Amino acid sequence: MTLSLPIGILKDKARGPQNHFEYFAKDFEETPHGLLPGAWIKLIHRKKEYLGTFNAFSQNQIICRTMGAFPHGDWVTEEELATSFIETRIQLAVQKRFTWRDFDRGCRLIYGASDGLPGLIVDLYQNAALIQIHSAGLDRFREKIKLAIEKHIQAKAVFLDDPKLREIEGLPQFPGDDLPSFIEVYENGCLFKLEQDIWQKIGFYYDHRFNRKRLKMILSELNFKGETALDLFSYVGAWGFTLLKEKFINRVDFIDQAHLGPTFIENAKLNGCLKQAHFHRQDVFSYLVKAHKEGQRYSLIISDPPAFSKTKKNREKALHGYRKLAKNCLKLITDEGGVFVMASCTHGVSNEDLDRLVQLEAVDLGRQVQLLDMGLQGPDHPFQGLSGGSLYIKSLIYQVF
């Protein structure tokens, strides 16, 4: 007997599931009823069939997530279909990553809907893979997901559940996995050891990995050699340590509010940069004002703040924050040929938005800026197009005169 899934019918005017992955009740002409949270369904839009999961109990009102075209086969049970689909998608995601150099040593292994597995995020480190699930349809098969991941990597996979995201989806809270006491990160020739108590999100931030690589390329082409650099919102210092390892700079001041001093010392030793790396636990905006008053100048400044807004509703507030940063950073760049990196992970703020702010502040300060490079997220954070919701990483590299 061939499996027959419950059916949901989208309105014709709803955005098509080819490049849209989340639906509300208002998007449906007909919804299935009486289903368990996360039931797998057949989704129909303009006579085309797609695979989706359905959760009428989600507190954020996203009741359906889609996974692409409906896969036809001779499945007998929902579990058989789900297991086959999940394992196939995980295998494909890993294969795509591991064609890139060094990605088997660490990367964003699975990036949710971009890999056809909405609600699943997996980051791979040298000693572990950390998993987060915030989709009821995938959470029902969490143990199968863990086994499928471990099949393709040389490390243990463990769950690092986000209680807030799970609560929004109406998911149960499970006892915590036996997490490693630290994760080992390899990126762009740098090594990092992160103790569990300083992990953010899902451990480390791989999102600007390729933009750090692009910065190396630009500085190499410039034959850049600077005295001091400033790494703002540094976390564990991935930008600054990249500069020091490549000897583009003699000293980096790392600024972050978190208690990261001991971590910095250990990672500076790992990368052979102990004497050149200086960590300051301080508010970034306060530090910039103080540095200007004291007449400090930097050959290179990197500004990579956390997201200033989680939604497009607060876009103007986010833009104000980036403009304030640009102004204070440009004041501190050395007079001729310094480099300024403006990075962002805020949804709803584009490279064009960031460039406009930098250009406006440069004019106000009587400075000239030349845009040398523009970067997005790397292939371990895949996105389908420039207008898709999965694209959120931006990076601009300027030379300042």
Q: What is the pLDDT of residues 383-393, one digit of tens each?
A: 877 877 788 99
- The Cα 221–Cα 308 span in angstroms is 32
Nearest to 120 by CA among 59, 61, 53: 53
Cα-Cα-Cα-Cα dihedral sign, residues 304, 305, 311, 312: negative
| Mean pLDDT along residues 62-81 | 92
Nearest to 215 by CA among 395, 72, 83, 5: 395
Cα-Cα-Cα-Cα dihedral sign, residues 259, 397, 375, 104: negative
| Mean pLDDT along residues 63-90 | 94
Of residues 3 and 128, more confidently modeled: 128
> What local confidence, expressed as pLDDT, does residue 313 receive?
72
pLDDT at 139 over 80: yes
159 — pLDDT class (breaks 50, 70, 90): very high
Percentage of residues in the chain with pLDDT exceeding 70? 99
- What 8-state DSSP symbol labels residue 110? E
Q: How many CA atoms lie within 13 A of 267 on its CB side?
A: 33
pLDDT at 1 over 60: no
Note the pLDDT tens digit of each residue in 88-111.
999 999 999 999 999 999 999 999
Within 8 A by CB and 6+ apart from 36, the residues are 140
Nearest to 397 by CA among 224, 208, 211: 211
Note the pLDDT tens digit of each residue in 189-218.
999 999 999 999 899 999 999 999 999 999
Instruction: Supply the mean pLDDT for the chain.
Output: 94
Nearest to 204 by CA among 212, 194, 213: 194
Within 8 A by CB and 6+ apart from 154, the residues are 104
Structure tokens at 209: 């990995």
- The Cα 207–Cα 331 span in angstroms is 28
- The Cα 114–Cα 118 span in angstroms is 8
> What local confidence, expressed as pLDDT, does residue 109 receive?
98
| Mean pLDDT along residues 148-152 | 96
User: In Å, what is the CA distance from 128 to each residue of 151, 176, 202?
Assistant: 13, 15, 12
Note the pLDDT tens digit of each residue in 249-296.
999 999 999 999 999 999 999 999 999 999 999 999 999 999 999 999
> What local confidence, expressed as pLDDT, does residue 29 receive?
97
